[in-house]
């Protein structure tokens, strides 16, 4: 499967909407063909020249914008001087989303791109004859193990090649986007924090706990530094934080949050895949899917009871419990927290069970694979 840049897909979408080719300008600034445009004056003048003979709205697609010195000046000026839609992409190593608010003064909409959802993953596997014949459970097992980065589909499903590819991505992001960008000197401590997060996926986190953990190993790191390192990892899109939400007090709590990984394949390339981690892995997958669907996601708490996810979207809310397999021993533990919430929003228990179809006091059980394939 050939690698298709995101903006090329956008260009195809514009063509499908009958936008004239003359009104679509696409430039990949990594190409030497456009080396002369890697300064904002030159880029600005070139785009003015290309749009001089057009009528109607112009669509300008600029790939790897960070290659242009002072690019934000050209973008801000084009927005004022032309009737145009501007689309830009940038490498995390040189341009992180937190900087856009400063450079573009809020005049932008950020489109977050996540690794493949399970539904998208299945579409990718259809182009590979050696995996297309697998049943859905086998493909889900591979998704759990290798994650959702599109590049793994070019590795011919050789585990060693896939994990080497993922390890290289992990090392690149850690070195360029975290260590170099934030001038982190205690790299061993940073990696120790990451290893701790990986080993405790799905568990609540407290900076003091990890500070004490490192202290027990003869390493000292303040809780403030721990949080600074976590912020750097979040900014580089390696991890996501899910804050805790008090359902009774209706407020966000500042402690006992959870951290999930942007891609499980990266975790397994570093830590290895362990089947006993299945509960945390399923939580991670559901959390990312909720983000893709546009939800803001919290960990719920009501008195001493915990709800895995409280997902908010405009005027809608969704409550979820995640369980590997429901048994007579754990069914009350999974259903009762949702049954005790006195509102009428949807409440689901997601598990890998394929034959159950429980509906108890308004709380429904669904198969997690089926839920992931829904729109």
Task: Assess if residue 115 is contained within a domain.
Answer: no
Is the same domain home to 216 and 263?
yes
CA dihedral 214, 98, 241, 326 (to 10 degrees): -140
Cβ atoms of residues 139 and 153 within 8 Å:
no
The model carries a pTM of 0.86
Strands 58-63 and 24-28: parallel
Examine the fold and report which residue of 45, 69, 103 is the final residue of a domain before the chain moves on: 103
Strand 251-261 relative to strand 239-246, pairing: antiparallel
pLDDT at residue 112 above 90? Answer: no
> Do 82 and 126 reside in the same domain of the chain?
no
Does residue 1 lie within any of the structural domains? no
Question: Is 131 in the same domain as 93?
Answer: no
pLDDT band at 349 (very low <50, low <70, confident <90, very high): very high
Q: What total of structural domains would you count in the chain?
A: 2
Over residues 299-328, the pLDDT tens digits come to 998 888 899 999 999 889 999 999 999 999
In a domain, 110, yes or no: no
- Mark whether 266 and 324 lie in a shared domain: yes
Based on the fold, state whether residues 193 and 298 are members of the same structural domain. yes
Mean pLDDT of 135-144: 93
46/95 same-domain check: yes
- Angle (CA) 235 292 64, round 5°: 50
Among 78, 103, 128, where does a domain finish? 103
Question: How many Cα atoms occupy the beta-carbon half-sphere of 220 within 13 Å?
Answer: 0
Distance CA 176, CA 183 (A): 10
**Could you tell me where the beta strands, DSSP code E, fall in 4-73?**
24-28, 58-63
Per-residue pLDDT reduced to its tens digit, 11-21: 999 999 999 99
Q: What is the mean pLDDT of residues 350-365?
A: 94
Say if 114 falls within a structural domain. Answer: no
Same domain, 57 and 146: no
Check whether residue 238 and residue 357 sit in a common domain: yes
Flag whether 113 is in a domain: no
Cα separation, 227 vs 206, in Å, equals 10
Residue 111 lies in a domain: no
Provide CB contacts within 8 A for 199, sequence distance 6+. Answer: 271
Q: What is the DSSP letter of 117?
A: P
- Please name every residue paired with 301 in a beta bridge, in sequence order, or none if there are none: 246, 306
Are 97 and 134 in a shared domain? Answer: no
Whether 265 and 169 map to the same domain: the answer is yes
- Domain of 156, CATH number, reads 1.10.10.10
pLDDT tens profile 176-186: 889 988 899 88
**Cβ atoms within 10 Å of 96's Cβ, excluding its own:** 16
Range of the domain at 60: 6-103
Specify the pLDDT at position 130: 56
What digits encode the pLDDT tens for the residues 20-70? 999 999 999 989 999 999 999 999 999 999 999 899 999 999 998 888 988
Please, are residues 247 and 307 in contact by the beta-carbon 8 Å criterion? yes
Task: Flag whether pLDDT at 100 surpasses 60.
Answer: no
Residue 137 lies in a domain: yes
Query: Which of 54-58, 82-86, 196-200, 203-207 shows the lowest per-residue confidence on average (mean pLDDT)?
Result: 203-207
Using an 8 Å Cβ cutoff, are 234 and 241 in contact? yes
SS3 assignment, position 311: strand
Sheet with 58-63, edge to edge strand ranges: 24-28, 58-63, 84-88
Together in a domain, 269 and 179 = yes
Q: Are residues 138 and 281 in the same domain?
A: yes
Domain limit, last residue, from 103, 129, 164 = 103
Distances (CA, A) of 329 to 143, 243, 318, 333, 335: 28, 29, 25, 8, 12
pLDDT bin (cut points 50, 70, 90) of residue 96 is: low
């Amino acid at each position: 499967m050939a690698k298709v840049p995101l903006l090329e897909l956008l260009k195809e979408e514009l063509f499908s909407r009958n936008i004239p080719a003359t009104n679509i300008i696409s430039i990949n600034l990594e190409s030497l063909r456009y080396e002369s445009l890697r300064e904002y004056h030159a880029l600005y003048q070139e785009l003015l020249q290309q749009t001089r003979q057009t009528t109607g709205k112009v669509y300008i697609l600029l790939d790897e914008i960070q290659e242009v010195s002072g690019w934000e000046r050209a973008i801000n000026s084009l927005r004022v001087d032309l009737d145009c839609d501007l689309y830009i992409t940038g490498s995390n190593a040189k341009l992180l989303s937190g900087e856009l608010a400063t450079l573009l003064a809020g005049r932008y909409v950020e489109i977050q791109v996540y690794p493949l959802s399970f539904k998208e993953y299945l579409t990718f596997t259809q182009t590979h004859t050696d995996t297309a014949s697998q049943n859905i459970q086998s493909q889900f097992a591979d998704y759990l193990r290798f994650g959702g980065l599109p590049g793994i589909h070019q590795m011919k499903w050789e585990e060693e090649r896939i994990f080497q590819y993922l390890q290289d991505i992990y090392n690149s992001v850690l070195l360029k986007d975290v260590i170099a960008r934030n001038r982190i000197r205690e790299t061993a401590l940073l990696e120790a924090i990451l290893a701790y997060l990986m080993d405790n996926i799905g568990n609540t986190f407290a900076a003091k706990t990890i500070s004490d953990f490192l202290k027990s190993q003869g390493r000292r790191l303040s809780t403030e530094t721990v949080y600074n390192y976590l912020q750097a990892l979040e900014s580089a899109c390696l991890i996501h934080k899910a804050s805790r939400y008090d359902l009774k007090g209706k407020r966000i709590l500042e402690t006992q949050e959870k951290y999930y990984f942007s891609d499980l394949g990266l975790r397994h390339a570093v830590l290895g895949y362990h089947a006993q981690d299945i509960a945390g892995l399923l939580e991670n997958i559901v959390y990312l899917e909720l983000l893709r669907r546009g939800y803001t996601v919290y960990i719920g708490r009501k008195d001493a009871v915990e709800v895995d996810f409280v997902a908010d979207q405009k005027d809608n809310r969704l409550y979820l419990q995640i369980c590997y397999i429901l048994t007579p021993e754990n069914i009350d533990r999974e259903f009762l927290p949702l049954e005790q919430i006195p509102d009428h929003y949807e409440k689901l228990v997601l598990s890998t069970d394929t034959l159950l179809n429980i509906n108890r006091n308004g709380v429904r059980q669904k198969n997690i694979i089926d839920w992931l394939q829904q729109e």
